[in-house]
């Protein structure tokens, strides 16, 4: 089964994981810029990270026939110091026109602070200035609903924003409706324990349908599973979803959303 992994943090993964993804049918993988498992001590740390995302990971993925794309930003977890965040953002123009950079992400909120929100809005403006899509991270656990509402309110203030070019990721049962009703795309992140398990994600699909939804594994530095998308597809089959329905959620939908970036060519 061919599929697209639209949100994976491969900098925290081994080369063996690339091999497993390829064996499972992954043809395209997209890596948003995020926390890398530790707080970077200077903007230089991000300079090297952006080089890793734009130069080294595409080569590592290519050895297994996987096309690697990325998104750029300073993540909300390290954006609470606005001075530091703006230093990192000043590096983005040097990378933004590289051939595998899809857009701005994953921006968003972590602890829902005023500074995080200010930096979030500056990133949205940056994406608008370059006419690029946006990938948004929503906070965890008890901060998720409030954070999602803050993000939706903030986005509503950008009158020129094309909502079909924005995906709000890590939705769960209590936030997916808010995001879809507002006209945005929504991403479901499949984690073994927190966020959505495969079965919870399939429940959501059965309730909300599969328009403007994608699934991803995140597969970051924490307990996560790089194969959770194909495993979820297998579970969909067990629950009597048709091959077309499965192909739509694991390939067609991410293809459709990502094709809005001028760099997404496969
Ligand atoms: Zn992520």
In this predicted structure, the answer to whether residue 44 has a pLDDT above a threshold of 90 is yes
For domain 3-258, the question of CATH label 2.40.50.100 is answered with no
Q: What is the pLDDT of residue 163?
A: 98
Q: What are the structure tokens assigned to 252, written together?
A: 């067609």
State the distance from the centre of ligand 1 to the C-alpha of 220, rounded, in angstroms.
7
Indicate the pLDDT class of residue 141, thresholds 50, 70 and 90. Answer: confident
Least-confidence region, from 28-32, 44-48, 132-136, 220-224: 220-224
Calculate mean pLDDT across residues 58-69. Answer: 98
State the distance from the centre of ligand 1 to the C-alpha of 221, rounded, in angstroms.
10
In this predicted structure, the answer to whether residue 132 has a pLDDT above a threshold of 80 is yes
Instruction: Answer for the pair 30, 5: CB distance below 8 angstroms, yes or no.
Output: yes
Instruction: Answer for the pair 213, 186: CB distance below 8 angstroms, yes or no.
Output: yes
Q: What is the pLDDT of residue 194?
A: 72
- Mean of pLDDT over the chain: 96
Reference 263, options 98, 65, 66, 33; nearest CA is 98
State the distance from the centre of ligand 1 to the C-alpha of 99, rounded, in angstroms.
21
State the distance from the centre of ligand 1 to the C-alpha of 129, rounded, in angstroms.
23
CA Rg, the chain, in Å? 17
Percentage above 70 pLDDT, the chain? 100
Residues 94-104: tens digit of each pLDDT: 999 999 999 99
Euclidean distance between CA atoms 34 and 180, whole angstroms: 24
State the distance from the centre of ligand 1 to the C-alpha of 145, rounded, in angstroms.
18
Q: What is the pLDDT of residue 246?
A: 98
Euclidean distance between CA atoms 87 and 3, whole angstroms: 36
Q: What is the pLDDT of residue 251?
A: 98
In this predicted structure, the answer to whether residue 195 has a pLDDT above a threshold of 80 is no
**Cα angle at 237 between 234 and 240, to 5 degrees?**
155
- H or E element at residue 74: none
State the distance from the centre of ligand 1 to the C-alpha of 259, rounded, in angstroms.
20
In this structure, are strands 67-72 and 213-216 parallel, antiparallel, or unpaired? unpaired
State the distance from the centre of ligand 1 to the C-alpha of 169, rounded, in angstroms.
8
- Spans of all domains in the chain: 3-258
Q: What is the pLDDT of residue 193?
A: 78
The partner residues of 26 in beta bridges, in order of sequence, read 3
State the distance from the centre of ligand 1 to the C-alpha of 106, rounded, in angstroms.
7
In this predicted structure, the answer to whether residue 140 has a pLDDT above a threshold of 90 is no
State the distance from the centre of ligand 1 to the C-alpha of 90, rounded, in angstroms.
22
Euclidean distance between CA atoms 127 and 161, whole angstroms: 10
Longest dimension (CA), the chain: 52
Percentage above 90 pLDDT, the chain? 95
Q: What are the structure tokens assigned to 256, written together?
A: 């459709």
Q: Does a cis peptide bond (omega within 30 degrees of 0) precede residue 187? A: no
Q: What is the pLDDT of residue 142?
A: 82
Placement of tokens 């795309």 in the chain: 185
pTM for the predicted model, two decimal places? 0.97
Residues 199-246: tens digit of each pLDDT: 999 999 999 999 999 999 999 999 999 999 999 999 999 999 999 999
């Amino acid at each position: 089964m061919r599929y697209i992994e639209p949100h994976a943090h491969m900098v925290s993964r081994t080369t063996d994981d690339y091999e497993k993804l390829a064996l499972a049918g992954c043809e395209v993988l997209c890596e948003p810029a995020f926390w890398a498992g530790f707080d970077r001590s200077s903007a230089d740390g991000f300079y090297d990270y952006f080089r890793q995302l734009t130069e080294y990971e595409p080569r590592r993925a290519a050895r297994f026939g996987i096309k690697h794309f990325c998104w750029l930003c300073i993540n909300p977890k390290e954006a609470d110091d606005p001075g530091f965040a703006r230093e990192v953002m000043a590096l983005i123009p040097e990378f933004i026109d590289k051939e595998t950079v899809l857009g701005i992400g994953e921006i968003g909120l972590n602890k829902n602070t005023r500074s995080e929100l200010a930096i979030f809005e500056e990133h949205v403006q940056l994406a608008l200035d370059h006419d690029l899509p946006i990938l948004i991270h929503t906070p965890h656990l008890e901060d998720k609903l409030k954070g999602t509402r803050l993000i939706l309110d903030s986005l509503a203030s950008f009158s020129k924003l094309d909502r079909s070019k924005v995906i709000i990721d890590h939705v769960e049962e209590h936030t997916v409706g808010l995001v879809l009703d507002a006209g945005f795309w929504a991403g479901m992140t499949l984690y073994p324990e927190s966020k959505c398990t495969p079965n919870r994600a399939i429940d959501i699909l059965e309730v909300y349908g599969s328009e403007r939804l994608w699934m991803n594994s995140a597969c970051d530095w924490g307990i996560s599973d790089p194969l959770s998308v194909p495993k979820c597809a297998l579970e969909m089959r067990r629950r009597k979803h048709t091959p077309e329905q499965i192909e739509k959620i694991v390939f067609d939908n991410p293809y459709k959303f990502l094709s809005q970036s001028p760099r997404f060519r496969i």
